[in-house]
Structure 1
Amino acid sequence: MNDNESKLAWLLALSADADPARVAETHGVVIGLLVAGPKQSDQELADQLAALQVGDWDSEKIQQQLGPAISTLRSELGSPDMDFKPLLPTDDRPLEERTRCLATWVTGFLAGFGTSGRRIDGGDAAEALRMLEQIARAGLDPEADDEAQEEAFAELSEFVRIATLLLREESLRQSA
């Protein structure tokens, strides 16, 4: 089982739902917690996930079962190659589904990030947060053609990826 299959397996278990939007939202929550608290321990993360009632698992089970997957997520977020990507349906899925999953991923991310109480005051990181709040309400434009909507989705997905990494860097800077 490769890293992506491993992450998907634990996210399915944690989200307790095979709906792609629920899986995306769960991934977003976990990433939001990791971005807001980049120096937190696995135990602190597990406690937060349990407190948020992400799945039916308690803190101990989360830590025991998810340790390797969390390590993989931490590595992706900290990679100098910027390997991190939100977990979303593949391009062969309908655009409507991918757009809904992107919006729910961002909603989950904002919930996880907001749980930390971290404040972002001004600058690019604050602007990125404001933009993410707008993306959480993303939907398809019935007036736009398919190609334009695909391009818009690709741009929004890339923005979400870069904004996530920017917010992590800001959190690291504030934690120093």
Structure 2
Amino acid sequence: MSETLPSLAEIDAEIRQLQLAMPGSELHGGLSGWLAGGGDDVAAWLAPVLADAALPAPASGSALDRLRVATAHQLEDRDFAFALLMPEDGEPLSVRSAALFDWCRGFLGGFGLAAGERSSLSEEGSEALADLARLAAAQPDPDDEDDAVEEDALTEIEEFVRVAVLLLHGDAALGPRHRSRLN
């Protein structure tokens, strides 16, 4: 399967079909957090990521299945190809910033479920997690204008989130995996 994420529209359509009460960006954040926290990459990922055993496994080849495959591949990619599932650049800044904050909320939930109480985070990882928590608590300013300064700020924050996720994945998933191979 491809390492390219399905579109947000495809994910949102499947979310509506399953009657999940969350936007696609938040669901991708949850999946990313689950995988970064050391959660299992399994076809039936919805149930553990959303802590709802009644949720079905996404159909093979569906947008949600492709989301899992692409996300897991991107997190493991040595070229740091990990991407956030966000609205298109043409959407208003307030919509895109709200999606980023939703993504961070989802990430924290998924990461917490997978990593639990394990304290395997580096100092940098702990700081990155705290920064993501601050972003998750943020609200978009509906009065933000779509100007170049605000666009640049959102781009920088998205890049920070992307790098923070890769750092946390290294601490909580890759590190323990490599340590267990050495023992």
Q: What range describes the TM-score normalised by the shorter chain of this pair?
A: 0.7 to 0.9
Q: 1:165 Cα deviation (Å)? A: 0.6
Task: Give per-residue Cα distances to partners, 1:43-72, cap 9 Å, x unaligned.
Answer: 6745413x6239x732xx337555444222
Where structure 2 has 5 or more consecutive residues not aligned to the other structure, the ranges are none
> Any conservation in 1 of the 2:93–2:151 contact (CA below 8 Å)?
yes
Tell me the distance in 1 between the aligned counterparts of 2:33 and 2:121: 17
- The equivalent residue for 1:75 is 73
Q: Greater helix share, 1 or 2?
A: 1
Task: Say whether residues 1:167 and 2:168 are aligned partners.
Answer: yes
Q: Percent identity?
A: 28
TM-score, scaled relative to structure 2: 0.76
In structure 1, stretches of 5+ residues that fail to align are none
Deviation at 1:147, TM superposition (A): 2.5
Residues 19-168 of structure 1 mapped to structure 2, 5 A cutoff: 22-37=23-38, 40-42=40-42, 45-49=45-49, 52-53=51-52, 57-58=55-56, 61-62=57-58, 64=60, 66-116=64-114, 117=116, 118-138=118-138, 139-140=140-141, 146-168=147-169
Task: Tell me, in whole angstroms, the C-alpha distance in 1 between the residues paired with 2:89 and 2:144.
Answer: 21
For residues 5 and 44 of structure 1, the distance between their equivalents in structure 2, rounded to whole angstroms, comes to 18
Preserved contact between residue 6 and residue 69 of structure 1 (Cα < 8 Å): no
Change (3 A) 1:72 1:145: closer
RMSD of aligned Cα (Å): 3.3
Note if contact 1:34-1:45 (Cα within 8 Å) is conserved in structure 2: no
Shift of 1:134: 0.9
Aligned equivalents of 1:86, 1:104: Cα separation in 2:
11
Alignment-mate amino acid for residue 76 of structure 1: Q
Are the aligned partners of 1:135 and 1:156 in contact in 2 as well (CA < 8 Å)? no
Task: Report if aligned partners of 2:75, 2:166 keep a CA contact under 8 Å in 1.
Answer: yes
CA–CA distance in structure 1, aligned partners of residues 88 and 46 of structure 2: 28
Q: State the AA in 2 paired with 1:52.
A: A
**1:173 maps to amino acid:** G
Cα offset, 1:163, TM superposition: 0.4
Which 4+ stretches in 1 moved above 4 angstroms? 15-19, 63-68, 141-145
Query: Does the C-alpha gap of structure 1 residues 17 and 159 become closer, same or farther in structure 2, counting only changes over 3 Å?
Result: farther
